[in-house]
Structure 1
């Protein structure tokens, strides 16, 4: 009987969020097992809130100490979702019979158990993590569960967080997060401002714009705030919460979330909040690969024309189409 499983997924916030479907499958199939994750420091607080995770080990950079922690946990299985040679060196001496890695790099051959976790063209990248878990569950005789309609139900706290963001009466909170997670360019504050001003003037919904930011993104948010305030549009600067976990929970307050391909956009998907995502225009189709976990009818996604000279130029996005689609969605669902 498998009692303890380690999943290694130690990269960015968005990557970890998109591992929730795989973690759900593990926990649902093996409710009595301890599902544990190895994550980057930036992800620690979010990982600790994940309802499918029982224990978190943080990547401190001290490989020897981390290996000792792994040994002490006495894992029955290790799933290497994020495969690196460094990871192999840390887990090779574990007395764990089952170590599973994806067929990606040359060091896949150092593992006895390997899986083709390459999702198909037209599928989101989170399918790769699910394919790994499905292989593991099938190998050990477990039934593969059906994925849920929503990955994080924080509805009991929705009113609390709406009050935190100052919602009044029938206002719809439209969250806007400037900046980028790195996989796409950044929509310029002027383009964001123009888009939001036009949407506010055309929709029948009573919108209040909530500008979220972190670090140097504050300057971008301030530019948007000033532009909207000058037009007497309802807008607030949302002071960053001290904990990523609290911020992640607070997104349940949103009626819509707009951002580039960032961790916050993907967190919104956990809540099944309608998302408006801006992606790079590449042949690898990040608009599909990095889609959020919100239901398909709640996902609006846009990118500039594909190409080396155009793909990261977010100014080339058809913002007229974005405006039209958003107004139609807001009027159909919130007016």
Structure 2
């Protein structure tokens, strides 16, 4: 019998981009359960990549010499590779790494280094990023004579109760969160990935949230974002509030996000972790074609995601024009169970 195929899937950019590969990875795993599926990722996402249930191993691109990266790829003797985003570095590493079948998007000069290509017009933002990724997996399966299953639905990242219970107990104890309070997480940082609401807008939104149950607001901050989080917290007076700074890595932060009843943010990496966890999300996007709510749609179930953008009569990147009152009303009705009296 021939050995199981060895597949390398590459997506070596930011956290949010990587999290949007998980539906494609789940679909690939379902179609080829016997295959070895490894990931080629950037250093900032390596920790969460190692936790991906649909992969068997991780190669980390830390910016090492291209020859060193290619050597590691060659040592793993991959039969094929799928680059879910085209970069010259990744394409060159796959070629130099001796991978016989190399599939990537037919964009940029890097496409010349792939021997299999799929035309994608991602700049048109006609479908979600996760769908573009899945289209490449479907092309890969078709080329290898494998039936294409329906896209696997999330959650794509899950934690057992035994993992989350001590996290929840510690969080509620540390911030004095009542056991019956709804936990609403607001993440005002964006890592510079997209236009975002101001801290004043996030505070105004938080003050307009309402429920028949108590709401506790946890304002989260990644590296370098604590000042933003504190500015939001200082503007909140309608609910008890605390600032939580993520210092223990992505997986520890993901466990905190898994406890949220609602997660609110701009278009950023933590939003897509929350989506993979199937947490209810409310996200704020500019209308710019490359940054729309459709293009960067989260991967949670449709009933668990809301998206807000500037109105049509405002500039496409004017996040100050977003209707905060309307957004709060939609969040309250969809996720916070405001019951009629």
Same fold (TM over 0.5): yes
Tell me the equivalent position of 1:82: 85
Matched, 1:150 2:160: no
Pick closer, same or farther for the CA change 1:27–1:334 going to 2, 3 Å: farther
Deviation at 1:98?
0.9
Correspondence 1:220-239 to 2 at 5 A = 220-228=228-236, 231=237, 233-239=239-245
Q: Tell me how far 1:91 sits from its aligned partner.
A: 2.2
Q: Deviations over 1:276-313 (max 9, x none)?
A: 10111224561111011111111111111358x83222
| Unaligned ranges ≥5, structure 1 | none
Secondary structure of the residue aligned to 1:203 is coil
Partner secondary structure for residue 148 of structure 2: coil
Q: Deviations over 1:173-216 (max 9, x none)?
A: 101101214342121111111111121xx432321111110122
Alpha-carbon distance in 1 for matches of 2:336, 2:112: 54
Deviations 1:316-335 (A, max 9, x none): 10111101111212343899
2:135 equivalent to 1:127: no
| Matched-pair contact (CA < 8 Å) for 1:117–1:129 | no
* SS of aligned partner of 1:301: strand
Distance in 1, Cα, partners of 2:115 & 2:338: 51
| Aligned counterparts of 1:184 and 1:285: Cα–Cα separation in 2 | 7
Q: Distance in 2 between matches of 1:203 and 1:152?
A: 28
Per mean C-alpha deviation after superposition, the further-off stretch among 143-152 and 59-68 is 143-152
**Which contiguous aligned blocks of 4+ residues in structure 1 show a shift greater than 6 angstroms?**
none
Are the counterparts in 1 of residues 41 and 59 from structure 2 also a CA contact under 8 Å?
Answer: yes
Distance verdict in 2 for CA 1:215–1:153, change over 3 Å: closer
Q: Which residue of 1 aligns with 2:97?
A: 94
TM-score (normalised: structure 2): 0.90
Matched with 2:202 is 192
**Contact 1:37–1:56 (CA under 8 A) maintained in structure 2:** yes
Secondary structure in 1 aligned to 2:235?
A: helix
CA distance in 1, matches of 2:158, 2:309: 30
123, 137, 143: which one aligns with 1:139: 143
- Match runs of 1:3-22 below 5 Å: 3-22=5-24
Superposed, 1:320-331 pairs within 5 Å as 320-331=325-336
Which of residues 163, 168, 176 is equivalent to 1:162?
Answer: 168
Structure 2, unaligned runs of 5 or more = none
Find the counterpart in structure 2 of residue 208 from structure 1: 216
Deviating more after overlay: 79-88 vs 41-50? 79-88
Note the aligned Cα RMSD (angstroms).
Answer: 2.2
- Residue 50 of structure 2 aligns with which residue? 48
Comparing 11-20 and 154-163, the one that deviates more = 154-163
- Secondary structure, counterpart of 1:35 in structure 2: strand
